[in-house]
Chains A and B, each alone.
Chain A
């Protein structure tokens, strides 16, 4: 356990830029945009008190409408973190078993009494838990900061932030759901993670090419064969991979049934319900698709481990 934690620490040290600096930059962007907004609409006196009018106008609205807006925008705020996190994890895993082979530092890592299984596990856990946890923590911190700043502005303009939005938005529920969706996504994405680690352990060079080429060839063949059989292009053009993406348990804030601004995945598939609830996330995790996905992931990961074991051959 101690060794596993040490190895996870090593992953964090090697990827501090991706794991910590990146979410902080996103948070910085959010705060900067918010400040620009406040300065733009708040600094004029008397004639253009746009911000004051906006807040007064908002305060007149129905509390139910306000609550829904505050709650859903809290969920939607996670999307930028989620999308960037997905990229970070993608490239992290792609390099996870490749970089140290390339610079030969694998010879140093293999001189330490840590098994290959433990090494692979530390990398997978970094992608599944460590990176999402940091992104989520920064998301929550940025949201709290934004609420504090908003409260100060609202108070300075003579309204009560508690009745206006603080008491309405259920921030704890929203944060918890975002965290749950990150963890659900880590499991939902396991086949992809396994594939990336396999490629990372296998690729003699340019792992990105090895990771993307087979799925593209697979997709093109799938489309072509369907076309030859039916002389039509099916609606589900991207096949399994497209379905997988569309049904992701990540909050992607697309317009859902025309009334919510936050939704799980992209609400164009009817295979699952896209409302942001814990039940809908669990629904995906306890599906047949997920079960098949886990088997595929296990095969990929076993392959990655086998290759890691033999990485110093030749």
Chain B
């Protein structure tokens, strides 16, 4: 199988710290992968390595290229939005479109203008005159108009209000994503992306602590809610975590027998956010 991103022993060291610690990673085509971890876990370092923005140790292959050596040619096949509001503030929208068209062989001006038509962004606007949400729309319009197979989004909606955030992901899903394309997203707003993800990767202290598909997540993990009576029995089944909410106890199980759990109380699939908190607090999952 051909992977879009393939890493073996990927490591990124800064002077005193190891940001990414011997990561092995395989991401096939047609996936939307959430790369999720607390601040300083190494998400951005890993993404920078993938995008050729930083040096690294270990093996890394993105679309058959080595990012550290071939950033410029890799960028013909990869798009990324690193953080909101990195578009140059002085530039006018038409200048941005013309530059991208001249530099990027796979950019379609028509597509970009079509996406922009549904926004309030006009050709004469300077980026500094736009609101943060409009800048994100502009950047997304540019990126979606580039026909590439890997899109990397690093906190693309940070600081945007909920309307823009929802719209951002809706556009991405409806107008962009298909079987050939792969999207890698890092974000803190886990709740907003969990419904569009196909795969989940948790990263903590530079190591991957979870790497599985959303289907696997549904199979493996179960959340059990019990009243005071069932608490001891539930604890006996060795849950990953336990928390209390309005007098009821909520347990998170990995690879537990759902039938057994159902006898104790209400069982459901945990949210990614709950799974994340449990994984980060409870050692390796």
Partners in one complex: yes
Residues of A at under 8 Å CB distance from B?
2-3, 5-7, 9-10, 13-14, 100, 103-116, 118, 310, 312-314
Residues of B at under 8 Å CB distance from A?
14, 48, 51, 53-55, 71-76, 79-83, 85-92, 95, 98-100, 102-105, 139
6 contacts between A and B (CB under 8 A): A106-B86, A107-B86, A112-B103, A113-B75, A118-B72, A312-B53
Is the pair A108, B88 in contact by a Cβ cutoff of 8 Å?
yes
Is the pair A111, B55 in contact by a Cβ cutoff of 8 Å?
no
Which A residues are CB-close (under 8 A) to B105? 113
Is the pair B82, A103 in contact by a Cβ cutoff of 8 Å?
no
Is the pair B95, A113 in contact by a Cβ cutoff of 8 Å?
no
Is the pair A113, B82 in contact by a Cβ cutoff of 8 Å?
no
Which B residues are CB-close (under 8 A) to A100? 88
Whole-angstrom CA separation of A310 from B48 in the bound complex = 11
Q: Contacts A14-B91, A100-B88, A312-B54; is A110 near B71 (CB within 8 Å)? A: yes
Is the pair B89, A6 in contact by a Cβ cutoff of 8 Å?
no
Interface residues of A, dominant DSSP: helix
Is the pair B72, A103 in contact by a Cβ cutoff of 8 Å?
no
Nearest residue (CB) in A for B73 is A113
Is the pair A10, B99 in contact by a Cβ cutoff of 8 Å?
yes
Interchain nearest-CB distance for A123 vs B (Å): 14
Is the pair A6, B99 in contact by a Cβ cutoff of 8 Å?
yes
Which A residues are CB-close (under 8 A) to B82? 107-108, 111
Which A residues are CB-close (under 8 A) to B90? 13-14
Nearest residue (CB) in B for A112 is B103
Most-contacted residue by chain A among B74, B89, B103, B139 (CB, 10 A):
B103
Most-contacted residue by chain B among A111, A112, A118 (CB, 10 A):
A111
Most-contacted residue by chain A among B75, B92, B105 (CB, 10 A):
B75
Is the pair A110, B53 in contact by a Cβ cutoff of 8 Å?
yes
Whole-angstrom CA separation of A115 from B76 in the bound complex = 11
Interchain nearest-CB distance for A308 vs B (Å): 11
Is the pair B86, A108 in contact by a Cβ cutoff of 8 Å?
yes
Interchain nearest-CB distance for A231 vs B (Å): 47
Most-contacted residue by chain B among A2, A14, A105 (CB, 10 A):
A105
Whole-angstrom CA separation of A289 from B173 in the bound complex = 62
- Set B55, B72, B85: member contacting A114, Cβ < 8 A: B72
Interchain nearest-CB distance for B153 vs A (Å): 11
